[in-house]
Structure 1
């Protein structure tokens, strides 16, 4: 039996160099599945991006080869090939074999970079079955090869392969000169094969993820051209072999173009671009000439670059970056942005309170950021992040700098005397005040948004014919077109769980109207009040008074238009109802065929389209059955009696409902803006280009 004295120094393991990376890869790349594989790709690409950030390169090419390797090429300065004095190794070997080594520690090579830990290239090398690096520098092309992080030479008989014979260096670790480079041409080419003994069998490169991040990087570094080439020739879903694909990403407009790309709605303002800088002092350890660490106070410069616009929607799209590193969880730069924005907008509303009818109320952050799309980037040397994942910026001084820049620049825009900016500022302030009033109104009427008892029901619209059940899961609200349909529906419904709300004609087109116009419209306000869950950002799905909302309009062109207007209202201001699949369209019949039965009561057959009517009539003729002429064509729900309406449209046992689904919010928003928005020209083009698809017989005459 082992005793405590058996545990001594000889039991301790000391992992040297890259051996620790291969032993515990998750500590360096997070995981060994597809995410870890993609992390390795971006460790190499980020080095090339840092060269472009420093102004030393403009092109990056990434190739996914059919043999499973990845190649990254850039036209930067090229990795140094001279001897590093402390190690006696070439710069290339230092970068790829030594942890925490690189050009981002001394402060002279990169003023602001993405990778600051010095483990990127060496970790990728350690986790590769083979890595080849070629450097163009000084008129020559240098090459060095590695297997599992160990430098040496492969002997290739054909195409490069990690299975080729490999001879590690024993004494001299020399760079091979394998060609000549044109005068003035510099750059680096890295090709590596991930070690499949390290990564899981199902780990694979995600082209879509590469495209997303590549596009993001191209937006953040204006003028940088990123080429992504997929040469894997994968097998498609139908079994066919796919060819090579290539995407070239270059956006000279920078983050202004990024904002336009991200914006989900039509614009209220143009994209506003703002810049600013600030300095702060930071105490950091600095290595002296003898390698000793000394605490020194240094002055840092923080550059702020912001692009934002307001749109007609109420969702906020915010992207923040530090030295092109995405910070999805924000940090001191985002909190500074929000503080500066809040201060400047509040000041502008206070000055124009009488004109805006804002009263004494103050807008909150959510009121101001409703419908806003913004991209914020800051650049500074050696940023402090909370955690290795770099999702939150922690440098405290950045908050005050960003807040001051944003407050100054936003105030200048809102107080501008230029005609265009003055008009846009007025629209923005009006939108913010409308959002503020909506929030305050929602808070004041929170109690009335819940299901009322019979004693309290007077707060709901008088025209609502409510149901008796208090079980929301069983309740249904039918929005009917006009009082004539209401009279029939009142007799046809089951008052236990079916409520009725009539609307008069066509409601307001809320895609064009402002929030205040929508709230002042009697029909829109009644629908929002009856559903009882608020509107816009304050909409609370759990407070909805009905499980199903059924739009029951006539089966004609006007009925279809009313249904479209109602769907626009739900999409813009009660979207969670649509996303949860709780909005339906009733499907009333178009025709009633009365079939004559000898010796029996006549049978009623309902059809829902012209094609179905012809099929039914043809089937009756084949069976030798007769039907009464003329066949009834329903022009509206009011033409049905209560029994017919219940049987065809309202009774859950027999009716047909069409659930309104929204698979992709962005596409749906584009469709609503095209069909219902204020911009006429695109709608005209759409109607003219699509006219040939229309069947004239489907239009009710």
Structure 2
């Protein structure tokens, strides 16, 4: 068959080479061909839809369905993206997103939610690693569909009827020739979607599973208070809080070219639980945002204790002692996040530490002043923890009729 009949122009050859590169080395794009890689494939498509609605192109919701035949359907009702290039703006149409290797991963700006754990390559990788993919677009009064087989278009986009709505639906079937198993875990997907909804206040994500023989199951997530709700949920898993209110705030700081959202609560469990994220990506190794958070908490609590004579001026308790029993979420969204190490789990932006420290000290300090009764309970617990952990030789005790625990 001639190259002319196959339509093998330079663009077509580039598309096929990119697709074959992904299929030959899938681990480079989704991490593995096992269960982890299968879920990463789903996260890539859901991430594309989430970022679409976060950009203000929908009602703030994404619906994911696991179909009985092993497919995954991801839909949003935002502005439908036409299959063809978007006019004179030079934008990439849906067909280009599905068939052409991006020049680079999607930008990591603050308005991108990293649903996936690897580079955000959007729809191209999912199409290449699926045995079949159906794309449906509703826009400009018409509903159009296009089918792909292992990344190659089976036909041109076709109009299948009128519509009064808008949105994009991607349904794909992970390729059994690539993946060791193609059965997604409802629990794994639900936990990640719940986390992303916590970190993006007001975003709605639903997950429905039509596969069980006993009937469908479904969950939906939307958290109007964002990371405050996240902290409350974490604390509910560990024990009763020392005070009923979650301390939280959100601030934009141009010095770090981004925003921070922080929430915290001291619980009676005695266990420290600090979760940190950068652009919705879990930073399990911490980084400058966590360092700044610890600095700010230590500064606010130490200042309060010293002002009231509860802590001698020559004692400087470390952050580990003060954060005992602390449940917190520290989330930053940056225009240019910088990660240290290949796993991208350690944030390295140097400006972030000072910005977060200042904000935490101010907001926690204000809470301590305004909620004096609750603050006294928390600080009393912290000081007792310090007293228990500090070697006796380091405690400069005072004597006299008014001897107090705060004499150290």
What TM-score bracket applies, with the shorter chain setting the length? 0.7 to 0.9
Contact 1:305 1:376 in 2 (8 A): yes
Q: Select the residue among 325, 338, 356 that pairs with 2:281.
A: 325
**2:197 maps to 1:197:** no
- Aligned mates of 1:84, 1:103 — CA distance in 2: 20
Alignment of 1:356-367 (within 5 A): 356=310, 360-367=314-321
Cα distance in 2, alignment partners of residues 199 and 91 from structure 1: 28
Q: Deviations over 1:116-163 (max 9, x none)?
A: 94523111111100111111222222222211111123xxxxxxxxxx
Indicate whether 1:188 and 2:168 are aligned: yes
Taking a change above 3 Å as real, the CA distance of residues 442 and 112 of structure 1, as seen in their structure-2 partners, is farther
Alignment of 1:510-529 (within 5 A): none
Alignment of 1:500-649 (within 5 A): none
Deviation at 1:31, TM superposition (A): 0.5
CA–CA separation in structure 1 for the residues paired with 2:354 and 2:134: 46
CA 1:96–1:382: 2 relative to 1, 3 Å: farther
Say whether residues 1:217 and 2:219 are aligned partners. Answer: no
1:362-402 C-alpha deviation (Å, 9 max, x unpaired): 22111111111111111122322235643222222222221
Correspondence for 1:279 among 251, 254, 265: 254
Q: Please list every run of 5 or more consecutive structure 1 residues that lacks an aligned counterpart in the other structure.
A: 1-13, 154-173, 234-240, 281-299, 446-515, 517-701
1:406 equivalent to 2:406? Answer: no
Residue equivalent to 2:378: 428
Could you say if the C-alpha distance between residues 64 and 388 of structure 1 is closer, same or farther in structure 2, counting changes exceeding 3 Å?
A: farther
Measured in 2, the distance between the counterparts of 1:111 and 1:229 equals: 26
Question: Paired residue for 2:66?
Answer: 64
Q: Is this contact kept in 1: 2:246–2:264, CA < 8 A?
A: yes
Counterpart of 2:28?
27
Q: Give the Cα–Cα distance (whole angstroms) in 2 for the partners of residues 350 and 80 of structure 1.
A: 63
Alignment correspondent of 1:340: 296
8 Å CA contact 1:60–1:227 kept in 2: the answer is yes
- Conserved? CA contact 2:50–2:61, under 8 Å: no
Q: Highest CA radius of gyration, 1 or 2?
A: 1
Q: Pick which of 361-370 and 95-104 moved more.
A: 95-104
8 Å Cα contact 1:329-1:391 kept in structure 2: yes
Aligned to 1:73: 75
Change (3 A) 1:385 1:37: same
TM-score, length-scaled by structure 1? 0.50
Shift of 1:178: 2.1
Flag the 1:85–1:442 CA change in 2: closer, same or farther, 3 A. farther
**SS of residue paired to 2:57:** coil
Q: Distance in 2 between matches of 1:242 and 1:275?
A: 44
Q: Residues of 2 paired with 1:127 and 1:387: CA distance?
A: 27
Q: Is the 8 A contact 2:85 2:93 kept in 1?
A: yes
> What is the RMSD of the two structures over their aligned residues, measured on CA atoms?
2.9
Q: 1:266 pairs with 232, 236, 240, which one? A: 240
Distance 2:263 2:291 in 1: 16
SS of corresponding position for 1:267: coil
Q: 2:392 and 2:34 mapped to 1: Cα distance?
A: 47
Inter-partner Cα distance in structure 2 for 1:277 and 1:223: 18
How far, CA to CA, are the matches of 1:145 and 1:80 in structure 2? 15
**Residues 412/90 of structure 1: CA separation in 2 closer, same or farther (3 Å cut):** closer
Assess if the C-alpha contact under 8 Å between 2:38 and 2:179 holds in 1: yes
Mapped to 2, the partners of 1:366 and 1:218 lie a distance apart of 29
Q: CA deviation at 1:348?
A: 1.9
Q: Does 1:143 align with 2:145?
A: yes
Query: Is contact 1:112–1:380 with CA below 8 Å preserved after alignment?
Result: no
Q: 5+ residue gaps in structure 2?
A: 1-13, 396-404
Range 253-262 or range 404-413, more displaced: 404-413
Evaluate the alpha carbon distance shift between residue 374 and residue 432 of structure 1 in structure 2; reply closer, same or farther with a 3 A threshold: same
